[in-house]
């Protein structure tokens, strides 16, 4: 029997047990080491802020967005058994899987990404967010020396700050929480600022032009208007936040129209078709995987909470987000 995290209804957590069988052909059995909570998508699901009739988009999820639901998508574990026909994975390998929080589970071998041997296992939980951040940079395609504002310095925002700095952009990190602003500086931001001071600071940095690219990564629906207002003439606003059912109110009748802004969504399930055939999901994943050993990740983990106390982890992220960045569940 193995425990897994379920949301029976909004803002409630319970651990349910299920029987885990031997892996079949093409499958592996995995014992959990750590799993990461998502402050964006996962907390929308936890709070009941996702359309109830929306289809689940991962085969490892169970239930429905109308509750109950088994959720999560950043699991790191150790392979403990392999089924027939599995090549490339063996017992003892540490892997990442887009799987809910669970002590043990069986997954397809194709879905298990073997982690580098020298990478601390808990850092593997960042793979999903890192791949998302890589995809956002591919969508935003900043040019060398351009001014990029990143609104929101949660996990994805802090990864974006690092990747954009590596790409040669000048990054202004916009974030209301002091802890995250400090981390943004460690992640390579050229400037950090609270949201209420962001427009003035960006105007000063750019001689009044505004940011060439603004990336909205906060998950706060009101931040999208700030992104539009901060963008330069004919600049781009890239939205990687998912707002779920939260209403978004925008002024599109004034500056947005006359500034000829480009507003686009970045979502990790697809790549920019303009990059085909040179880029595909495999290449994007390989890039994200290689970056895990290069980026500043360890300091982003603010809390390690035993799996049995999962409810406390969600309450922490929900009620005291100012204390957190990456919260992980640990499995002994």
Domain ranges, ordered by start, for the chain: 2-119+293-330, 129-275
Closest-CA residue to 313 (of 303, 322, 325): 303
pLDDT recorded at residue 110 = 97
Q: Which CATH number fits domain 2-119+293-330: 1.10.10.10, 3.90.180.10, 3.30.830.10, 3.10.20.30?
A: 3.90.180.10
Please give the C-alpha separations between residue 111 and each of 30, 51, 115, in angstroms, as whole numbers. Answer: 12, 27, 13
Span 129-275: which CATH code? 3.40.50.720
Nearest to 50 by CA among 59, 41, 61: 41
Please give the pLDDT value at position 280.
96
CB 255 within 8 A of CB 188: no
Tell me phi and psi for residue 238, to 5 degrees.
-110, 125
Maximum Cα–Cα distance for the chain, whole Å?
A: 63
Compute mean pLDDT per 10 residues along the chain, 332 residues long, and list them.
97 97 97 97 96 94 97 98 97 98 98 97 98 98 97 98 98 98 98 98 97 97 95 97 90 91 94 94 97 98 98 98 97 91
Cα dihedral 38, 39, 41, 47 sign: positive
CB burial readout 46-69, b (16+ within 10 A) else e: bbbebeeeeeeeeebbbeebeeeb
pLDDT at 254: 87
């Amino acid at each position: 029997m193995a425990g897994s995290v379920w949301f029976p209804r909004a803002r409630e957590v319970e651990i349910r047990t299920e029987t885990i069988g031997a892996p079949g052909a093409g499958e592996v059995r995995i014992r959990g080491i750590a799993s990461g909570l998502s402050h964006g998508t996962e907390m929308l699901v936890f709070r009941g802020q996702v359309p109830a009739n929306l289809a689940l988009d991962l085969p490892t999820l169970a239930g429905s967005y109308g509750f109950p639901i088994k959720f999560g998508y950043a699991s790191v574990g150790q392979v403990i058994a392999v089924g027939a026909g599995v090549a490339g994975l063996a017992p003892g390998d540490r892997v990442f899987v887009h799987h809910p929080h669970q002590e043990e589970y069986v997954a397809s071998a194709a879905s298990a990404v073997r982690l580098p041997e020298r990478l601390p296992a808990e850092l593997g939980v960042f793979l999903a967010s890192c791949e998302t951040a890589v995809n956002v940079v591919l969508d935003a395609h900043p040019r060398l020396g351009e001014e990029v504002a990143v609104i929101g310095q949660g996990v994805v925002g802090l990864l974006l700050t690092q990747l954009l700095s590596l790409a040669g952009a000048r990054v202004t990190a916009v974030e209301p929480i002091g802890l995250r602003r400090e981390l943004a500086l460690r992640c390579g931001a050229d400037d950090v600022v609270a949201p209420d001071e962001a427009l003035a600071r960006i105007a000063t940095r750019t001689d009044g032009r505004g940011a060439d690219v603004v990336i909205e990564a906060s998950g706060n629906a009101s931040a999208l208007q700030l992104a539009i207002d901060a963008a330069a003439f004919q600049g781009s606003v890239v939205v990687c936040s998912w707002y779920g059912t939260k209403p978004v109110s925008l002024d599109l009748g004034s500056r947005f129209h006359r500034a000829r802004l480009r507003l686009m969504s970045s979502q990790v399930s697809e790549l920019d078709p303009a990059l085909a055939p040179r880029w595909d999901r495999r290449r994007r994943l390989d890039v994200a995987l290689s970056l895990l050993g290069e980026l500043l990740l360890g300091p982003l983990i603010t809390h390690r909470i035993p799996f049995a106390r999962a409810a406390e982890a969600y309450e922490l992220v929900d009620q005291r987000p100012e204390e957190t960045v990456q919260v992980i569940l640990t499995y002994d």
